[in-house]
């Protein structure tokens, strides 16, 4: 069976993913490009005895070298040399989208342009002379409405006929002065044999004059580099602008001229509904209020509606555990039973139980993105986020972090810039997630009067936000230092998403969550189970606890690796106001913050801690004071994130280094701030 490879490119919001889904259906796989966190999507279809592999490249506005997405897209086309490149163009925003098409034309690749959403364009009064425009661009053009499947069959036919899709020979004239400099560069290229084997000669000249750092780094000729610098300086002296800007202006001029010849508008002045809506939703104050309501609805769907399937999953896991417990043969090792119930089922169940939240959350995000609203939300928040070195879209994952850090970190995929994405991932655990809320609800009612509880709770949330802002600022000034990519995002027209597209987006993220977090968490849960079980006390030591199973559990824990580590770290955590019991519970909470409560119950030899926590609260009041209680909550807020978060950070950044940096860095920060709080507080209280 003959195989064809097709690269799918296009601007964000051009409908590229819709075309990809229409071509490949469910025959897709998702991963990451080697060495980067940019998502890689591949799919295929079989037609007329031919298998067509579709590679959905990252959405990008350009093929410059400013972002990872641009480099990934450009390098894939140059290095892999696909049989065909399909550029999906938003027909209702033609001039902006054709900028990418012009760069592809300059690369001299076999190209087909897909004018998508032609229904919206025609409703706006645009009429295209497809034949004339195709001749001007020297490229085949297919009109589609991806959301309705219109034009997809014609596109498939064009793909199968790709042998007849020759490289475009359309040439952009950059004007006399720029063309003179391009000719000078061209005359010095003959010694760069390796580059000429890999790159088109004209494209190489343009990239060098544009000061493309990746291409320039491959130049060996000193004479060429000197001539290049001279050409750039000459153009700057003539036009008072860099060559890169001049070349971009000429490209837009070429596009404008082509559209002037081939695109007609029957409406001279249009006040579209989307423009009227944007006047309201992008207002500084009103827009923020609308955004708050929209996100509240998304969170309500995620964490309220999601609670029902979560309860079903929990019940199913609990029933399976009870079934194994009640029917376990006496002749088979009890340790194996504990491993299966507490280690494997407990570990996997702890991951699977969040799946409904993941699915609902990404369904909501996909809906907001596909309708075009998420671009407005990012636009609203950009001014605020820019002050801490981030962009508007970073606000979305941070907001999600108040529910759970795992989906929040996964949602950073919406960030195009790697530095912004890494910074956002690092600070997300500082948001007070639902698991931390479990600890707050144990300690706040135990130590603080009713009139102060809301104040204490609010202060913890504010502390997390303030620390996140400070840390983001520091990270962008040090570890992730570098130029902030200008935040340029179009406000795409509002449109109704397709059910198929939403379901594919939802399931892709859900499946990746199970694959990425599940396997790692399973291993960690087994290790944690072993740490709280071994070494085991002998029968003689356990005999004195026959009448008190809870005390026996506490003794076993104290003798275990976790218990001994708790004793060992007591001198380190004592300045924070913590004893070995708190230390042991903190070790358990590394697996999941909510484990802190149940671990405390075991340490204090209490039963039924999952039900009524009042007896545990009384015991805590008998052993600790308000300052210690606040310091415990403060440390829980800031310290090392749970293993699920570490695992997802590792997978999303594709580096254990960043996961460890987050884990260790937040723990050190928690220690320093908690130490200062306890020691200063002790001076006033003490």
Strand partners, 167: 110
The span from the CA of 595 to the CA of 602, in Å, is 11
CA pseudo-torsion sign 395, 396, 401, 407: negative
Residue 42 CA to residue 82 CA, distance in Å, equals: 13
- Residue 670 near residue 635 (C-beta atoms within 8 A): yes
3-class secondary-structure state, position 32:
strand
> Are 8 and 86 spatial neighbours (Cβ–Cβ below 8 Å)?
yes
The answer to whether the beta carbons of residues 146 and 19 sit under 8 Å apart is yes
Using an 8 Å Cβ cutoff, are 570 and 581 in contact?
no
Q: What are phi and psi of 201, to 5 degrees?
A: -60, -45
For 65, list phi and psi in degrees, rounded to 5.
-120, 35
Q: Find the DSSP H helices in 192-345.
A: 193-198, 201-209, 213-216, 222-239, 243-262, 273-281, 284-300, 307-327, 334-338
Query: Do 88 and 19 meet the contact criterion of CB atoms below 8 Å apart?
Result: yes
Tens digit of each residue's pLDDT (9 = 90 or more) over 472-486: 999 988 988 876 554
Query: Global pTM?
Result: 0.58
> At residue 267, does pLDDT exceed 60?
no
pLDDT one-digit tens code per residue, 556-603: 777 888 788 888 999 999 999 999 889 888 887 887 776 777 667 656
pLDDT digits (tens, 9 = 90+) for 375-409: 777 777 776 777 777 877 787 788 778 778 888 88
The DSSP 8-state label assigned to residue 25 in this structure reads T
Question: For residue 351, is pLDDT > 80?
Answer: no
State pLDDT tens for residues 113-141: 999 999 999 888 889 999 989 988 989 99
88, pLDDT greater than 90:
yes
- Grade residue 77 by pLDDT with cuts at 50, 70 and 90: very high
Q: Which one, of 24, 2, 131, lies nearest residue 501 by Cα? A: 24
DSSP 46-85: EETTEEEEEEEPPP-S--SSSSHHHHHHHHHHHHH--SEE
Contact 355, 302 (CB under 8 A): no
Is the pLDDT at 507 greater than 70? The verdict is yes
Average confidence (pLDDT) over 494-518: 72
φ, ψ of residue 2 to 5 degrees: the values are: -75, 140
Number of H-type helices and E-type strands within the chain: 34, 9
- Say if CB 42 and CB 28 are below 8 A apart: yes
User: Can you list the domains of the chain with their CATH numbers?
Assistant: 2-164 (3.40.50.300), 176-265 (1.10.287.1770), 271-533+624-686 (no CATH)
Separation between Cα atoms, residue 490 and residue 493, nearest integer Å? 9
Instruction: Grade residue 332 by pLDDT with cuts at 50, 70 and 90.
Output: confident
Q: Please give the structure tokens belonging to residue 336.
A: 């194996």
Write down the pLDDT at residue 588. Answer: 74
- Mean of the per-residue pLDDT values of the chain: 82
Give the residue, 633 or 347, on which the prediction is more confident. 633
Residue 46 phi/psi, 5-degree rounding, is -115, 130
Which of 409, 361, 505, 363 lies closest to 56 in space, CA to CA?
Answer: 505
106-109-113-114 Cα dihedral, nearest 10 degrees: -140
pLDDT at 611: 42
């Amino acid at each position: 069976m003959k195989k064809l490879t097709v690269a799918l490119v296009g601007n964000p919001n051009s409908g590229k993913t819709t075309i990809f889904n229409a071509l490949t259906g469910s025959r897709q796989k998702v991963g990451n490009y080697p060495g980067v966190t940019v998502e890689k999507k591949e799919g295929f279809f079989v037609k007329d005895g031919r298998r067509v592999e579709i590679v959905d490249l990252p959405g990008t506005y350009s093929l410059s070298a400013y972002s990872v997405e641009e480099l990934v897209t450009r390098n894939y086309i140059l290095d892999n040399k696909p049989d065909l490149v399909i550029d999906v163009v938003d027909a209702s925003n033609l001039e902006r989208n054709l900028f990418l098409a012009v760069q592809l034309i300059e690369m001299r690749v076999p190209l087909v342009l897909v004018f998508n959403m032609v229904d919206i364009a025609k409703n706006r009064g645009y009429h295209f002379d497809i034949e004339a425009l195709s001749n001007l661009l020297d490229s085949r053009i297919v009109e589609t409405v991806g959301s309705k499947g219109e034009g997809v069959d014609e596109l498939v036919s064009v793909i199968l006929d790709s042998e007849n899709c020759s490289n475009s020979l359309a040439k952009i004239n950059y004007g006399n002065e720029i063309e003179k400099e391009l000719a000078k560069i061209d005359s010095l290229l003959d010694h760069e044999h390796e580059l000429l084997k890999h790159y088109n000669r004209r494209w190489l000249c343009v990239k060098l004059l544009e000061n493309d750092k990746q291409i320039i780094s491959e130049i060996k000729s000193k004479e060429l580099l000197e001539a290049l610098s001279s050409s750039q300086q000459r153009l700057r002296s003539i036009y008072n602008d860099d060559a890169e800007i001049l070349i971009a202006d000429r490209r837009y001029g070429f596009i404008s001229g082509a559209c002037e010849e081939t695109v007609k508008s029957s409406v001279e002045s249009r006040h579209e509904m989307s423009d009227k809506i944007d006047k309201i939703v992008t207002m500084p104050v009103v827009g923020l209020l609308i955004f708050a309501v929209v996100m509240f609805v998304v969170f309500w769907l995620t964490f309220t509606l999601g609670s029902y399937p979560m309860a079903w999953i929990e019940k199913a896991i609990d029933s399976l555990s009870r079934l194994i417990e009640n029917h376990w043969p006496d002749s088979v090792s009890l340790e194996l039973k504990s491993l299966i119930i507490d280690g494997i089922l407990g570990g996997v169940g702890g991951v699977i139980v969040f799946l409904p939240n993941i699915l609902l959350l990404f369904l909501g995000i996909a809906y907001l993105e596909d309708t075009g609203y998420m671009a407005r939300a990012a636009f609203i928040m950009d001014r605020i986020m820019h002050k801490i070195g981030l962009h508007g879209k970073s606000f979305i994952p941070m907001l999600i972090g108040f529910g759970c850090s795992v989906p929040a970190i996964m949602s950073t995929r919406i960030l195009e810039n790697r530095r912004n994405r890494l910074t956002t991932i690092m600070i997300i655990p500082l948001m007070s997630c639902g698991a931390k809320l479990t600890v707050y609800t144990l300690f706040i009612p135990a130590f603080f009067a009713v009139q102060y509880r809301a104040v204490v709770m609010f202060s913890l949330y504010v502390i997390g936000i303030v620390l996140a802002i400070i840390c983001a600022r520091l990270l962008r000034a040090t570890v992730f230092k570098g130029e902030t990519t200008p935040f340029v995002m179009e406000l795409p027209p509002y449109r109704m998403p397709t059910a198929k597209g939403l379901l594919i987006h939802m399931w892709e993220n859900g499946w990746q969550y199970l694959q990425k977090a599940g396997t790692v968490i399973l291993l960690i849960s087994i290790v944690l189970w072993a740490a709280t079980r071994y070494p085991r006390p002998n029968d003689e030591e356990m005999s004195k606890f026959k009448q008190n199973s809870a005390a026996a559990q506490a003794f076993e824990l104290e003798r275990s690796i976790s218990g001994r580590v708790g004793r060992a770290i007591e001198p380190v955590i004592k300045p924070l106001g913590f004893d070995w019991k708190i230390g042991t519970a903190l070790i358990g909470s590394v697996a999941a913050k909510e484990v802190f409560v149940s671990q405390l119950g075991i340490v204090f030899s209490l039963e039924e801690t999952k039900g009524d926590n009042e007896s545990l609260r009384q015991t805590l009041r008998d052993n600790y004071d308000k300052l210690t209680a606040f310091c415990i909550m403060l440390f829980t807020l800031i310290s090392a994130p749970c293993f699920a978060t570490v695992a997802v950070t590792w997978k999303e950044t594709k580096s254990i280094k960043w996961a460890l940096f987050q884990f260790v860095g937040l723990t050190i920060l928690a220690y320093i701030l908690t130490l200062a709080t306890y020691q200063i507080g002790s001076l006033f209280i003490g």
